[in-house]
Amino acid sequence: MPVADSERPVFLGRRFAAMAHRGGWVDPADQPRENTRYAFGRALALGFEFLETDVWATADDELVAFHDDRLDRVTNGTGLVGEHTWAGLEDVRIGGLDPIPRLIDLFEEFGAARLNIDIKDDRAVRLLADVISRCGAEDRVCVASFSTARLAEFRRLSPGVPTAVSPAGVAVATHGFGLRRLLPEAGRALQIPVRYHGVPLTLIRPDVIRLAHAAGRVVHVWTVNDEAEMHRLLDLGVDGIVSDDITTLKRVLVGRGLWEGES
């Protein structure tokens, strides 16, 4: 059985978490405009409440929403994000159009949004805890990281903020056999990839979902852009899907009576 709403953190209070990955896209031509006010605003206009993003610290300790460690793939800038000051990034444009946003600006501009935030570097941990506290956003976020150490430090700094299970915890849940039932992790959301470097994985299984629900966790799957795969995962009973193709995800959820956002 899925986790009861009364047992979920406020961030997870919806019956199903439909997450716009880096803001998602409606027209594939807009894919380069990831992690921008444009992408996030469009997802919210479509009725999405949950946004997924990533954070890095600049050289002068500003926290920016950006996925890669380097600017080169999606911007007209070059070099590592962490080697630039915030002033040095202000003229950089994502997809040639959009400025890189600070996380604090996203909290202030999109007050109704709930953010799943992936901590990408060590210096961002303290900055994220501080921004969440300053914005009073503890109930609006779930914090994840590929680093178990970063998650542990964030939980120490912000003990009341919902977090995802660490990659080590996901490994225990999906491959730990007899140890899986213990799930000692503090995280409330088991966030599992459906592919790794394009290779399909078989991590999302009925036994894994049963284990997570029995331990009071929810199961989110990333990043899912195929409609048939969305249906398969929903049939298995997952609690959330992260997708780039937000129009397809919304259509699937509306058809199955799981859409809770604005129509």
Which residues does the annotation mark as catalytic?
Answer: 21, 67
Burial class, 64, CB count within 10 angstroms (exposed 0-12 / middle 13-18 / buried 19+): buried
Provide the terminal-to-terminal Cα distance of the chain, rounded to the nearest Å: 27
Q: Which has the closest alpha carbon to 193: 162, 167, 154?
A: 167
242: its two tokens: 């992260």
For residue 167, give the 3-state DSSP assignment. Answer: helix
∠ CA 32-21-60, nearest 5°, is 75
How many C-alpha atoms does 141 have within 13 Å on its Cβ side?
29
Q: To which H or E segment does residue 3 belong?
A: none
14 phi, psi to nearest 5 deg: -75, 155
Helix spans in 57-205 (H): 86-89, 103-109, 123-135, 148-157, 167-175
Q: Which has the closest alpha carbon to 229: 241, 217, 219, 212?
A: 241
**Secondary structure (H, E, C), 31-88:** HHHCCCHHHHHHHHHCCCCEEEEEEEECCCCCEEECCCCECCCCECCCCEHHHCCHHH
